[in-house]
Amino acid sequence: MKTYFQLLAAGITGGLIVLAGFNISRYQSTLNNQHEIKAMPVNFNMSPATNMPGDFVESAKKSTGSVVHIYSEESDAQVQAKRNKQRRNDPFSDFFGFDDFFGGSNFYAPKNGSGSGVIYSSDGYIITNNHVVGFADKITVTDSEGKKYNAVKVGTDESTDLALIKIEGAKNFTPIRIGDSEKVNVGEWVLAVGNPFGYLTSTVTAGIVSAKGRSLDIIRNEKAIEEFIQTDAAINPGNSGGALVNLQGELVGINTAIATPTGVFAGYSFAIPSKIVKRVVKDIMENGGNIERTNLGVGGYDINDELIKEFGLKLNGRKGFYIEEVEKRSAAQMGGLLPGDVIIEINSTPINNYDDIEKTMKYNKVGDKISLKVNRNGKEMTIPIQLRKSF
């Protein structure tokens, strides 16, 4: 009997061991299957719509051939002309002055610098920054294959820090495709293409759009137009004038500035959106020369209830800008605007305050004609005005 129970216990124990072994084997198989699932390769060659990094290759291929290196310098003749002009304005300019004791100098020295540019057309028009070529009268362009060309300035716009240069006699250049910066979204992948530090030619860096419409007060001009695209793509000195492109290789901005305490990339960079670039390039090509932005030449107040009561204005519920003073020799004076007029429209665009005037006119330049609708003593009238150079 004792032997029977021993054999029964041994049988049960053996069965449990077999069952446990089966479960362990099945558990191990499950773990292996899970491991195999996790180890599956990730496909980075995804379509542009997914905005995955694998798309950078095609974008880089489409854009690098349209970005050039630019070396700008002043000729000895231009430097001498500056010196002669200074002597005429200041007969004592050749003597040492206060600045010389602090490292300055009364003598002009030739300037030079380098940056990047973007090929706009097959016949050699190239977009860049004004601060890259604005000071120079000698410009050398090197394409992505290392070929060098002489270029001339076609025109500049200090208000946007843009410039257009041209390689004379050029043909068969590869222009970049211009994209729509208005369709660029925050968080979207972009590439910066340029020549950092002047010798790392055809460099491509990637990042995302961090913000749009940034105004930084970095353009040294009274009529500065700033609506920068902010990105975290690495940009350094020498990238100025280069391309910011989307994943389709289309130009959405001209790289212009970096936010940095050290002089090199520290996390954020800024590009002029293509909507501004297209407009400025069109103006320069149609009119030639440097673009001069202009002011209307009026001062006053935004319309409010207190102003309406104080001056007894009859505006029929409309808002606008009340003119208190008109600057002498301004476009406003020459066009016939008077103190007491209320500007209610410019080129059929309603004006509610002075900010509306600036927004409506920010792209206007000397020589443009605009149409103003004003309320004068309760009556509305339309006044054509030709914009003049500000004094």
How many whole angstroms separate alpha carbon 157 and alpha carbon 283?
10
Q: Is residue 143 among the annotated active site residues?
A: no
Burial label for 297, CB within 10 Å (0-12, 13-18, 19+), is buried
How many whole angstroms separate alpha carbon 315 and alpha carbon 337?
17
Give the bridge partners for 323, in sequence order.
300
Q: Is residue 35 among the annotated active site residues?
A: no
- Given 114, 159, 240, 274, which residue is catalytic? 240
- Given 55, 143, 157, 161, which residue is catalytic? 161
Give the bridge partners for 370, in sequence order.
385
How many whole angstroms separate alpha carbon 27 and alpha carbon 36?
14
Contact 144, 174 (CB under 8 A): no
How many whole angstroms separate alpha carbon 280 and alpha carbon 45?
37
How many whole angstroms separate alpha carbon 266 and alpha carbon 233?
10
How many whole angstroms separate alpha carbon 231 and alpha carbon 233?
6
Tokens describing residue 164: 């257009």
- Given 63, 66, 69, 131, which residue is catalytic? 131
Tokens describing residue 17: 């061991």
Tokens describing residue 177: 């495709």
Q: Is residue 240 among the annotated active site residues?
A: yes
Classified as helix, coil or strand, 370 is strand
Catalytic site residues? Answer: 131, 161, 240
